[in-house]
Amino acid sequence: STTPVKVTVTGAAGQIGYALLFRIASGALLGPDTPVALRLLEIPQGVKAAEGTAMELVDCAFPLISSIDIFDDPKAAFDGANVGLLVGARPRTAGMERADLLSANGGIFGPQGAAINEGAASDIRVLVVGNPANTNALIAASSAPDVPSSRFTAMTRLDQNRALGQLSQKTGVPVSEIKKVTIWGNHSASQYPDIFHAEVAGKPAAEVINDQAWLENDFIPTVAKRGAAIIEARGASSAASAASAAIDHVHDWVLGTPAGDWTSAAIPSDGSYGVPEGLISSFPVTSEGGEWKIVQGLEISEFSRGRIDASVAELGEEREAVKALGLL
């Protein structure tokens, strides 16, 4: 089709935005034949920097870009949007209480959800990247009562990709031959990267690795704390990898997951695997026809059960906290 897809990116002038926009514009998000109308949302102080990024996008002469517009008003930015990448968020600063962080983000994701409800296209699909991503997605969804809640998702694809990278390095098998890894729960330190159903070069991953100590003391904490390790090494937070994961998430949602594999995304729970309904929690998922589906029937060991329950409990606490603040 030649009608451009309207893609709205919030926090467009930030680090992740800077890595993300060029990938979207190159066709990595929606494929090499889909023209894109880019809509960049920033807070007023970020608009000038967003204009600079837009100048560079123009200078790339990307054939797929039909327009680039910059906004500081969510209503205008989401008007007619087909895809929303919600990256901008209020970072936690030193000494900030959790309630303050949650209410600051409520002030961002509530109005953005309302703007989506009011003016986005009927096929709108939203990915929240800005942290605390799962709960920010819950706030946006609850401010958009006319949009199916299944259209609001949060990113655990970076955790998934980090898990694939670690497994590849451990086994020497390329990522392309590692399948069915799962991230469960919250995009936070409590997340559970699960390899008990994973396959490495066609064999059960747990059998190939056969090292429970590595799994518990190395793999799981390395994946969960990778963000901090990158800040430590790079002197700046991960941005290109976060952008790349956001591209993967939306690409697979819209265009489908490959046969014989699954991925991970935080989507509203339907009660599967004992996750309370409505929590936006990460599951093993496939996508077909533009809809995520939770992979059903996986056997959950006692070890996995404990880890999943702990992360899901944290999501429940976050939901109670934003409810108490009147944000849901």
Q: Could you give the residue numbers annotated as active site?
A: 187
Nearer to ligand NDP, 56 or 288 (CB): 56
Nearer to ligand NDP, 136 or 182 (CB): 136
Does position 153 bind ligand NDP by CB under 6 A?
no
| Pairwise CA distance, residues 277 & 272, whole Å | 8
Instruction: Work out the angle between the directed axes of helices 98-119 and 302-324 (0-180°, nearest 10).
Output: 80
CA distances from 112 to 59, 85, 87, 145 (A): 30, 11, 12, 13
Does position 239 bind ligand NDP by CB under 6 A?
yes
- Return the residues of window 63-122 that contact ligand NDP according to CB under 6 A: 87-91, 108
| Pairwise CA distance, residues 204 & 236, whole Å | 36
Contact range with ligand NDP by CB under 6 A, out of 5-13, 141-149, 268-276, 310-318: 5-13
Nearer to ligand NDP, 131 or 153 (CB): 131
CA distances from 181 to 133, 153, 189 (A): 21, 19, 18
Q: Which amino acid is at 216?
A: E
- Return the residues of window 276-295 that contact ligand NDP according to CB under 6 A: none
Residue closest to ligand NDP (Cβ)? 14
Closest listed residue to residue 128, CA positions, set 235, 261, 228, 9: 9
- Which residues 6+ apart lie within 8 Å of 105 measured at CB? 89, 90, 130, 132, 135, 136, 139
Does position 38 bind ligand NDP by CB under 6 A?
no
Does position 240 bind ligand NDP by CB under 6 A?
no
186 contacts 281 by C-beta, under 8 angstroms: yes
Pick from 41, 102, 120, 141: which binds ligand NDP (CB under 6 A)?
A: 41
Residue 17 known to bind ligand: yes
Closest listed residue to residue 11, CA positions, set 227, 242, 187, 231: 242
CA distances from 166 to 247, 249, 254 (A): 20, 19, 27
| Pairwise CA distance, residues 147 & 151, whole Å | 7
Does position 10 bind ligand NDP by CB under 6 A?
yes
Task: Look at strands 291-294 and 280-288 and give their pairing.
Answer: antiparallel
Q: State the binding string over 120-139 for ligand NDP (x if CB under 6 A, else -).
A: ---------xxx--------
Tell me the closest approach of the beta carbon of residue 221 to ligand NDP, in angstroms.
Answer: 16
Pick from 38, 242, 267, 322: which binds ligand NDP (CB under 6 A)?
A: 242
Q: Give how many residues touch ligand NDP by CB under 6 A.
A: 26
Residue 98 known to bind ligand: yes
Does position 247 bind ligand NDP by CB under 6 A?
no
Residues near ligand NDP, by CB under 6 A: 10-11, 13-17, 41-43, 46, 87-91, 108, 129-131, 158, 227, 237-239, 242
Q: Which residues are annotated as a binding site for NAD(+)?
A: 11-17, 105, 112, 129-131
Q: Which residues are annotated as a binding site?
A: 11-17, 92, 98, 105, 112, 129-131, 162
